[in-house]
Amino acid sequence: MHAFLANRPYGAGDNLVSRFRIAIQYANSEQRMLLSRLDRQGFVVRLTDDASLPPLGLPRSGQILCGDELLCECRLVARSIARVGGGALELVMQPSREDDDTSVWQALRDYTLSHRAASGESWGMTATTHSSRTRAPGTKSGDTAARSPASAAYITCEASFVLPEAGDARFFSAWFDCHFAEIAARARATSSPADLRDLTVHTEGVEVEVSFDYRWNGNAVATCTRETCSWAVAEVERLFGLHPRYEASSETGERAERLSGGRRPTPFTS
């Protein structure tokens, strides 16, 4: 029996899904599964109850497509299946390995660039905010009222990234939000007391603002935010040739030193 699935928040990766008709098709299968979401869980598709379902936990070769165009081939693992009502099922899939994940995101990046060149559009001008947290009405990122039950145990650090174009900012925000698990693990590796509980990603034009929500652990959170931002900039440069400029704030909300727009930003002092 499939578990019922609670409603999940809109994710930054859903902009890619809504803009391009991304689908997955397993090797030796005629069933093409259109993505309904791309978020921190992975690739989410909605299927009818009588659809052919892959076995959970086993890597299988598949194709990622946009319309009829093949983006890449990779190995995918079905992680969970849940019933969402109305006779529908939601299947969550993830790239099997790190190199599969890299292949998918590089292919998505190449496709967004080629689509932008062909259409003359700068994809993604609308402002959006994405978070896994459900906020109380009237609150915003950083408001302690949005956190419960122990709001005093949390603290927020802010960072602002500036990309060359709005389409670059949209892609960066999707990549950043979808890799929350890796970012949280990196924060813990930087300072074991730092417990990153959530990210809120707000995108408007060429700017991407990220709120890092930690369980309070003193000055460790400023170090983790600095190191995470530095890692993210290095990763998107290495993988996608993007060169964001960014600045970060300390845990008190004061602006830290503005970082260089060059390829290797210098560390800031908290």
Euclidean distance between CA atoms 71 and 141, whole angstroms: 35
pTM score of the predicted model: 0.78
CATH number, domain at 100?
2.40.10.220
For the chain, residues with pLDDT lower than 50 are 1-10, 123-125, 132-152, 251-270
Euclidean distance between CA atoms 162 and 38, whole angstroms: 23
Euclidean distance between CA atoms 194 and 219, whole angstroms: 9
The last residue of one of the domains, among 97, 119, 141, is 119
Number of folded domains in the chain?
2
> 156 and 246 share a domain?
yes
> 225 and 179 share a domain?
yes
Q: Look at residue 86 in the predicted model and tell me its pLDDT.
A: 78
**Would 137 be classed as within a structural domain?**
no
Q: Is 237 helix (H, G, I), strand (E, B) or coil?
A: helix
> 36 and 113 share a domain?
yes
Q: Look at residue 217 in the predicted model and tell me its pLDDT.
A: 63
> 88 and 201 share a domain?
no
Query: Token pair 């390995």 is at which residue?
Result: 97
> 167 and 270 share a domain?
yes
Q: How many CA atoms lie within 13 A of 112 on its CB side?
A: 26
Q: Look at residue 144 in the predicted model and tell me its pLDDT.
A: 36
> 108 and 203 share a domain?
no
> 57 and 170 share a domain?
no
Contact yes or no for 54/33 (Cβ under 8 A): no
Enclosing domain of residue 159:
149-270
> 153 and 266 share a domain?
yes
